[in-house]
Amino acid sequence: MPTRERRVVKRWALSGDPRGLAVAADGTVYVGLAGPQSVIAVDPEAGRIKHEVVLDSEEIASTKELVSLRLNPAGDRLIVANGSDESVTILALPELKIVREIGLEGETVRDALPDPAGRYLYVLGRKIHVFDAEGNRELRTLEKLDPMAIATDSQGSLLAVVGAEEFANGRATSVALYETKTFTSSEPEPLQTDRKIEAAAFADDDKALVILARDWLAEKTLHARREGTVTAGDGGSMRMRFRFGDLISSEAICLPDGSGPQIASHRAPAAQNGQTGRWSVGGRTPATSAIIATSRFRVVNSPPARM
């Protein structure tokens, strides 16, 4: 579907329940199918399946939800977050060979995000688990918030964790930033919402953080990022200090229940796709970031969600 004309130019029939999605540099489309418990590689020109790997036998176990598919910076690994299966599967590309599975007992795995600098793999469960890039060893856990979404800046120097924070009079949604050399963190910044956040992403040359709920999209500016300072926190821990701007809400959006962490992705430069607006959500183009909102493949043939 070209983003400028918003018309479907190619459609594929898939046997299964499509969930997570990733697009490689060569155009190959990787799709997670929860029904047959498999990942397929689709040639977008011919519409044919080039490779397929079954992660679990559907007859024996069909617990893998394949909620997100993400490529590592080198493009030779596909990382699959398996939801209520409490696991992450790492596949070698292009052959889709299973090279590793990470289990997190008792934790639904909602996302698995590679570090753009190639050092880490961030796994979103009940807390944030930081593994080495190959998923061999867990290096640390981040437990400041009850996490909902994670994002990294383009260089991998910052990790944003959006989640619920406990206050005396209840819970609210906040964001904490971690500097990824030492994982010192900022004080959580309130986001003036109690919505469940589905996804987050840095935008506008890493000067803004965009957060998405299924009915709402907003942007929070990060001022003077390079001037962040480190201060001593409680118990001698170190925290980063940043200046946040106000939360800017866009018009309402409408996404299906359970849209998951891949409802937002960076788009190509305007010179490549002819767009001048930096946002495209349901036909609207509010202001400032280099992201487009997308839904999972399975939404293509579904009726529009009703608000």
CB neighbour class for 180 (10 Å; exposed up to 12, middle 13-18, buried from 19): buried
How confident is the model over 40-55, as a mean pLDDT?
Answer: 91
How confident is the model over 214-229, as a mean pLDDT?
Answer: 69
Q: Of 17-31, 46-60, 253-267, 275-289, give the lowest mean pLDDT range.
A: 275-289
How confident is the model over 153-175, as a mean pLDDT?
Answer: 89
Pairwise pLDDT comparison (233 vs 23), residue with the higher score: 23
pLDDT at position 34 over 70: yes
pLDDT at position 78 over 90: yes
Highest mean pLDDT among 55-69, 132-146, 188-202: 132-146
Per-residue confidence at 45, pLDDT binned at 50, 70, 90?
confident
**Is omega for the bond preceding 190 within 30 degrees of 0, making it cis?**
no
**211-230 burial by CB neighbour count: b if 16+ within 10 A, else e?**
bbbbebbbbbbbeebeebee
pLDDT at position 63 over 90: no
Per-residue confidence at 86, pLDDT binned at 50, 70, 90?
very high
Q: Count H helices, E strands: the chain?
A: 1, 25
How confident is the model over 145-149, as a mean pLDDT?
Answer: 95
Query: Which class is 1-143 in CATH?
Result: mainly beta
pLDDT at position 124 over 70: yes
Q: Is 282 helix (H, G, I), strand (E, B) or coil?
A: coil
Per-residue confidence at 50, pLDDT binned at 50, 70, 90?
very high
pLDDT at position 160 over 90: yes
pLDDT at position 295 over 80: no
pLDDT tens-digit readout, 231-288: 555 555 555 566 677 777 666 777 777 677 776 655 544 333 323 233 333 333 333 3
Say which residue the tokens 């176990």 belong to: 61
In order, the DSSP letters of 85-118 are: T-EEEEEETTTTEEEEEEE-TT--B-EEEE-TTS
Measured CA to CA, the distance from residue 52 to residue 1 in angstroms comes to 24
How confident is the model over 101-107, as a mean pLDDT?
Answer: 96
Residue pair 192/199 in contact (Cβ under 8 Å)? The answer is no
Give the pLDDT score at 223: 63
Say which residue the tokens 């050399």 belong to: 181
Give the pLDDT score at 54: 93
